Structures are given as C-alpha cells and as structure tokens.
A and B are shown apart, each in its own frame.
Chain A
Amino acid sequence: MPNAPRGDKPLRSRPDERSTTSAQNTTRNPTPTRDPVEGQALACDLDNVIMTVGLSKTFPGGIRAVEALDLTVAAGEIFGLLGPNGAGKTTTVGMLSTRVVPSAGNACVGGVDVVAQPALAKQAIGVVAQSNTLDRSLTVWENLYYHCRYFGLDKGAARARADELLEQFHLADRAKADVYALSGGMAQRLMVARSISHRPHILFLDEPTAGLDPQSRLALWEILRELHGEGLTVLLTTHYMEEADQLCDRVAIMDHGRILALDTPAGLKASVGAATIARVATTGDPAALAAALTAGLGEGARAEIGDGVVTVYLKGGDGVVPRIVAHAEAGGFAITDLSVSEPTLETVFITLTGKELRE
C-alpha cells in the first residue's frame, strides 16, 4: 500500500547522538567539497524513498542549520516539515535535492545517495523552490518544453508533455506569454507543472503556498492531492499548520535544526493529551479560577495560565462550555471571554517549544 502513512512512533532526537554530531561538525570542513562523504556511503534501500541518517549542515560561520536529522519517507507519502522560519526546513530540502552539501551524515533519495551521486539523484527528483525560479528568458510553454528536454524527452515527447501540462494546470491560454506576465498563483502552478514534467519519483516543495492568496493556496492543495493520488511522493516544508494538517500523511515538527516530533497529524494532536482546549478570561484571580476549574471539571483536566488567561486541557469534549460556566459561577468568578477549540498542530508546537509557530 504505497499511500498508507507509516505508523512510526513519534521520533525524538537523542541527546547522545546530538553531541557526537556536534563534535563532528566542528572538525569537518563546512565549505562545499566535491565529495564530502568520508568512509562508507549509505546503502540506499528502495522501501524508503527518502532516508537520512545523521544528516547535518553547519554553514560557514558556525551556524548549525540542521543537526543529526534521521528521517524516512515511504513511497507515496505526503510528508511535511513544519516549523517556523529558520528551523532548518529549507536547508533540509536543499541537502535532499543536492544543492546544499551536508557537513555530516548521509541521505538517500529514490535509492540514490545524494552526496555521492548528485547528478544521478537529480533524475529522481522534482523541486519547487521557495522563490520564483522560472526561466525568464522563455515563454510559459518553453519553460515546460526545455525542462522536459533537460530530462531526456525527445522533441515530440517534450512538446506533447508541455501541451498536456498546460491543459492540466489551466495555463493553456498563457502558453505564449512571458513568465513575467503571470500572477503569483499562476507562476506557482507553472513551477509545480515544470517540477513534475519529467515524472520524478519525489517532489520537493519549499514553502509552496507562502505569499499565495487563499484561493490559489486551495487550488495548489488540490493539485498536490491529485499528484498524491497518482502515487507521487511529496515532501513539503511549511510554516502553515493548516497546510501540514490538511495535506500531509505525516508531519515532522522542526525547530532549531532538529525534529521535535514526528507522527501523523492526528497522532501529533493526540500527543497533547487533550481532546478539548478551553481559554477562559476572568475579572478575578486567574490562578484561583484555574484551581477551581481543574478541581471542578474532574479527572484529566489540567490548566495553564498565560497573559491572564486560563487555558484548560480536557480529555472529553461534551458540554464543556456549560460545565466551565457553571464551575466558574459556583466559585464566584465573572467570565469575560471563553473560547473552546480542538488541539491543532500549533498547540503541539507550543507544547513542544513554548512559543508560537508564526513569526
């Protein structure tokens, strides 16, 4: 079942591994070299379309962008790297797509060691970079046509493929247009069309919907779901938790170059240990309200106080609002604001890092 998400346990990086890698990082040359693999290259297996072992990147100046990343992505998955700006997501995609040379560790993509055989690995991957990398000297159609030619399609096949993709991505009426003339959403569609035109095994998308209007974002999600349906493996980075939640089979939450948690979106949300989260504001003492609510709401309820607001985590979700109101009134507290939600990946991120996901 290529499309089935893997039921891996949440993966947390171990401190002992981290320290070894840090030591290696300081001793290894951070500037790119032709072949930084020392010793044995990784034996790449075909079960995992993407596999990294201890993958690390330290940029000149000692900036540790990614530290000891261990990751496996199965064929047909949509895998998300979720984290704030500067978490190391783009560097990770850069290493997997051969443009960033790792400082340590190994990575296989499509069964090819990306460090030892970058040129071969490029055959297996399609990349949608964060910025608009369309060929500005060519038309919309030519962008697709020449990309196909780079990847070995002959003249006729490349023509047919370019036509087909323009239809599929609703860009046919723009075929002869300059890429300058495209809106942000159209340019992004063309980038995705181009990245899959040579039928790669894996598609990397780096912040694919950043800067897109909501409509274009939904359209792109639809496209990615279709590609997923066709069995394409997708690795995307995002700092939008809805995107990771809605689109991905599994999500790795990243911060400061490390994976903090890895699971299905449902699994991650369950890891918060609550089905319902209520935020209660009062004119009275928040600490006293928190105590009254945890006592009153019973087993499993726990409360936190931040910015004068009491956040209550509850196992169950039925009748939460009247129960909270009842317990608060019974304790003599006046409620000024009350909101109830289910846990989101944002909640997971806050629980893990103590800070919010957005910039």
Chain B
Amino acid sequence: MSVVANVETRRAMGFRPTRAAGLIAFWALLLRDLRVLQKTIVVFAIRTVMQPLLLVFVFTYVFPKIGQGVGGSSQSEASFSTLLMAGVVGTSMIFQGVQAVALPLVQEFGYTREIEDRVMAPMPVWGVAVEKIAAGAVQALIAGLVVFPLAAVIPATPVHLHVHWVFLLTIAPIAAVLSAALGLTMGTRVKPQQVPLLFAIVVLPITFLGAVYYPWAALAPIRWLQVLVLVNPLVYMCEGFRLSLTSGVQHMPIWAIYAGMIGFTVVLTWVGIDGFRRRVLS
C-alpha cells in the first residue's frame, strides 16, 4: 500500500521545515557573498575609494587652492565642502550598491547560467533575490562608511558635520537597500551583456543629476529640472544625508525624503525580484 507523504513522514525522511531551511540557506548565501567580498577586498577598496577620493580632492581641495572655488566667496566654499559630503556619501553608496548586485549577475546569468546552482538552495527563488539585495546593501553601507575619513582629511576648507543620529541610522540602511535594489533591477531587466552599458545610461545621469553637488532646493531657478530629478532616487538619498549630517544646509522636507526613499526601495525591490524570477524560472 502506498504511503502518502505528509509532514510526519517528511520529517522522518530528513526534511527541515521550509521556513527554517530557507533562513539557513539565506544566511549561508550571505556568508558566501561575504567570503567573495573578503577575497576581492582590494578590488572592492579601490572601486569604493577612488570615486569619492577624486571627487572630494578636486572639488574641495584643488578648486579652493587654485582660486576657482565652487560657490564663490570663501564662506560659500566652506559650506560647499560641507554640503558636498552628503552628496559624496550618497553617490558612493549608490555606486557600490548597484555594482555589488548587478555585476555578479552578469556572470551568473551569463552563458554558463551559474545562477541555476545558486537557486537550487532550499529556499524560494524570491529569497535568493532578497539575499542579493542584502549582500549588496552591506557593501553599500561599507562604501558609505569609508567615505567619512576621506571627507574629514582632504578638504582645504573645513567640513562642519552635525550628525543627527536618529536620521543617519534610519537613512543609511534605507539608502543601502535602495541602492542594492536598483542594482537588482538593472541586473535582471536587461540582457547580461548589456549591463555594463547601463552604467553609462543610468548610473552616470543618476549621479550627475542626483543633487550631489547642490541641495535640491537650489535647483529652483531651473524649475523643469527640479521637477524632473524627482524621478532620481539619489536625490532623496543625498537630501537624506544632508538632513543627517549637516545643520543649516537646505534640504527637502523630512517627510518627502523618507517617502521618496521608501517608495523607491519598495518599487525597485519588487521590480528587481520579479525580474529575477523571470530570469531564473521559465
């Protein structure tokens, strides 16, 4: 007589409950990604440090020294160094978050389809996608942390940071997840070979028009641009870091910052997970 499988017989066969197995697999995939990060730490460090280093060096050291300071008077130059800090943190995080998720997917979705092994881990396919975001978010956070010492040491004019911890400790994690979710969306919604092209088409405009070098409110004279850049998630991130790190520098209303960041995080996470499932399952 045939025995119908049920919870008891499965347990006897060595099955773990789905949720427990899924959480274990999630954690193990994260450990795997951290191990890979550890192995490539030098590349990661160069990738992370280079852009903010040059940005801070040119804008806040070279320009003031050669008398072409951004912002005009020396007072404005000083506050420029301060307001740029938030932009540098935001840019570094979005850059690393996107790269950390999107670039490995080029290989995993590539012609060897390595991903087919990763998704055989005993968890739902969406769980693997969430793990990608988690691993990317960790790297984005590290990138954000790395920027602080650079900003403190390099500028020729003093940087006046006023850390509002409540904001920083909420904005930074959301910004990290948002960056990684953007990476998942980019890495799953286009063909693997086209992902590097996306850096030119998406990442560059995002960083140049992301309220990095100026507060969003300062765009008021160019009204159409001020409205247009609201579709850029980096705007909310940079404004959020301005809120978290400075006093007396203009920023968006607090509700708008949080609404923009959370909204983009939710949408990009959903679009990214859906894209991941479509790529993996047929």
Q: Would you call B35 an interface residue if the criterion is a C-beta within 8 Å of the partner chain's C-beta atoms?
A: yes
The CA of A128 and the CA of B104, in the complex, are separated in Å by: 22
Contacts of B32 in A (CB 8 A): 135, 138, 146, 149-150
Q: Would you call B120 an interface residue if the criterion is a C-beta within 8 Å of the partner chain's C-beta atoms?
A: yes
How many Å from the CB of B186 to the closest CB on chain A? Answer: 20
Q: Which residue of B lies closest to A143 (CB)?
A: B117
Indicate which residue in A111, A136, A149, A199 contacts B107 across the interface (CB closer than 8 Å).
A136
Task: Evaluate contact between A138 and B28: CB separation under 8 angstroms.
Answer: no
Which residues 206-251 of A have a CB within 8 angstroms of B? Answer: none
Indicate which residue in A97, A112, A133, A149 contacts B5 across the interface (CB closer than 8 Å).
A112
Q: Which residue of B lies closest to A118 (CB)?
A: B124
Which residues 89-138 of B have a CB within 8 angstroms of A? Answer: 104, 107, 111-125, 127
Interface 1/0s, chain A 317-356, versus B by CB < 8 A? 0000000000000000000000000000000000000000
Contacts of B148 in A (CB 8 A): none
Interface pick from B8-16, B56-64, B166-174, B261-269: B8-16
Indicate which residue in B2, B40, B118 contacts A47 across the interface (CB closer than 8 Å).
B2
Q: Would you call B75 an interface residue if the criterion is a C-beta within 8 Å of the partner chain's C-beta atoms?
A: no
Question: What is the interface residue range for chain B against chain A?
Answer: 35 or more
Interface 1/0s, chain A 131-149, versus B by CB < 8 A? 1111111100010001101
Task: Evaluate contact between A111 and B29: CB separation under 8 angstroms.
Answer: no
Contacts of A152 in B (CB 8 A): 16, 21, 24-25, 122
Q: Would you call A101 an interface residue if the criterion is a C-beta within 8 Å of the partner chain's C-beta atoms?
A: yes
Contacts of B278 in A (CB 8 A): 32
Dominant secondary structure at the B interface: helix
Indicate which residue in B4, B277, B282 contacts A44 across the interface (CB closer than 8 Å).
B4
Dominant secondary structure at the A interface: loop
Q: Would you call A292 an interface residue if the criterion is a C-beta within 8 Å of the partner chain's C-beta atoms?
A: no
Question: What's the tally of chain A residues with a CB closer than 8 Å to chain B?
Answer: 46
The CA of A201 and the CA of B123, in the complex, are separated in Å by: 17
Contacts of A149 in B (CB 8 A): 24, 28, 31-32
Task: Evaluate contact between B3 and A99: CB separation under 8 angstroms.
Answer: no
Contacts of B158 in A (CB 8 A): none
Asked, given contacts A119-B21, A123-B122, A136-B114, whether A142 binds B3 with beta carbons under 8 Å apart, the answer is no
Contacts of B117 in A (CB 8 A): 127, 129, 133-135, 147, 194
Which residues 110-132 of A have a CB within 8 angstroms of B? Answer: 110-112, 117-120, 122-125, 127, 129, 131-132
Contacts of A127 in B (CB 8 A): 116-117, 120
Could you name 14 residue pairs across A and B whose Cβ atoms are closer than 8 Å? A46-B2, A46-B13, A47-B3, A99-B116, A101-B281, A110-B13, A111-B5, A129-B113, A131-B113, A131-B116, A149-B31, A149-B32, A150-B121, A199-B14
On B, residues with C-beta under 8 Å from A are 2-5, 9-10, 13-16, 18, 21-22, 24-25, 28-29, 31-32, 35-36, 39-40, 104, 107, 111-125, 127, 277-278, 280-282
Q: Contacts A99-B116, A137-B39 known; list 7 others, CB within 8 Å.
A: A44-B4, A94-B282, A112-B15, A122-B122, A129-B113, A132-B112, A137-B40
